[in-house]
Structure 1
Amino acid sequence: MIWLRCRAGLRIGTGHAERCLTLAKAIQQENGKAGLILDQDAKSYNSRANTAGLPVQTMLPGEPLAAEAADYPDGPVVLDLSNPTLLDGLSDLVAALKAQDRPVALIEGLDHEAYNGAATPDLVITPYLGALPRDSAGWIGGGEYAVLGEEYATEPTPLEDRNSILMMMSGSDPWHLTETTLAAAKAFGKKLIVVIGGSIPEERARQIAAEADAIGARVAHAPSTLHPLFLQSRAALIGPGLVKYEAIATRTPPVIVSPGDQFVATQSAFVETGLAEVLSSTQPDFAEALKQSLYRALQSTPDWPAIIDGLGARRVARQLIARFGE
């Protein structure tokens, strides 16, 4: 049994949990066995894992992070915890798991979310466009390993048959990008499909929905998948997280909104390959810059990399099973 550990909440966001849920399903599809280790308050993901027939163990977050190792179930562990709030303790957690003689894989981030700890995992996975190879046999990476749901492997609707603009900032959106971007994009109101993340507090979610309704936008609250919404959308306004890979897999031209310059560097591969424009929500001309970027996206038909094809989860699953067994 391969166990996948992630967190989801106001500070971490839901992208890591979505990825672990998708990867666990892919391990099952490759005839392996997988389970999830979730925080006790990740109730929606616990329910979705149960629906998928995945074993779940819940726990309180470790303080310090390495203390969690004592509570993990037996078997190999895949850590999806490369978040700036957790990086300082991640090496100690890897060391604690290695001390138990168990295989450890780590899904890392880019730039300031990359892993540089002293403890060495058996496998480091960098599932991002623009990933730089590590000098180690225990590494896989690149856009071909982007972990997406199997629905993203299907041929998308032609762009000329789409009319909407999908707006999805983050599952938790601690930066309030949803409100900032919604205000800047109000001229496109009737075209917008505004997704409200499932970890956004209820009162705030109601306020966002009211603001969206006031400009004629549609609202989607915590959908289980964004795939059908992407297939309706000619362009997308998205945050700096993993959703940009869903945009590329569905051939939807994205405009990425970053909560300040600290996240802009992690989007560089998309900018350099002409797949997206990136804006900072703190730049003085944000509203006008967003309007112009969105106009360009609505006219854009970029050359899309076939490597981001919705099959990355299966590729990662096969690597994990080959290295760690079923």
Structure 2
Amino acid sequence: MSSRLELHLPNESRPRSVESAIDVSYSTGKTLRFCDATLLVSGRNFHSHSVVYQGTLQICTSGSDLPVNSVNAVCKLVQIDDELEAQMENEANVYNTHLRDLQGDVVPKFYGFYKGSCEWSGWMVDFSCIILEYCGMPLQDESFPDLPMALRSQILDQMYAIHKAGIVHGDFREPNVLIQSTEDITTVRIIDFGLSLVKECRKRMDVKIGDYEPQIGDLRCNELYNVFEDLDLWTPYHLICANTTFNIFSYPDVDSLVAYLKRQRPEKEEESLRAEATEVLDSWYNDYGHRIEDFGIDDPRKVDVDTFLHRLCITAWPEDELLM
């Protein structure tokens, strides 16, 4: 038995009543009533209309109008846009299958996907909507690198769990990460799986926060590689100074770097090269130097480049793999 949804939306005199488009075990045979709605996000033009509301989801058992449970929820609604409706249906199927066991911990609880039609601006139009648990607001004014390391680590763990469930997100960015904080805890939920793919993760390296950045081909998972990069969890070792790329383990101090740059850029004055070298190295040690102690990574001032590259190779290709 499918579930039924009543949508009580602002500025609409009558609720929209629709049947579920997919079976969701939690809501089967129940009537869901989304009410007390307030607008969170709106994307409207003459071609389409997409909105997100926050409201109260009242859950009623079959044959009763009295709610047995009420939860804080959001309604994502799309109409007059076939592409966005197809993405929403894909998102709903992913929530309801591969991500089912992650609901409430990694992704929001999913209360169903619904399709119907309504009168809008004098026309009868089709619409689709998803009902999800409210899990806080998306990151809007902060970029990932500005977040505390503990929070970035939590976001990474959530993405690991999603990949372990066999899903590639396909649109990892700040607006698709929800943060909700209380006095005791900060929770992270990942949303917006409209572009996601069902795909087994090929990650093969044991990588840790703060590790020096490997080659993307060594990790074998493009999305997780980019997640590390977006969250600024890799430590870079290839830097650029005077339009010249160098390995900080080859030239970890100003004097050695200037000597190298003089060979590469003989047309530039030594004073200018020294100023640039000082700025680049100071910036690296200020931004990443603390990771030497915090995460136990190699110190460019104490480890020569050959030893560093050998360790990097062993991390990417452990000896048991090299011997196979």
- Structure 1 length as normaliser, TM-score? 0.21
**Greater percentage in helix:** 1
**Greater percentage in strand:** 2
Q: Name which structure has the greater RCO, CA cutoff 8 Å, separation 6+.
A: 1
Q: Which has the larger radius of gyration?
A: 2
- Structure 2 length as normaliser, TM-score? 0.21
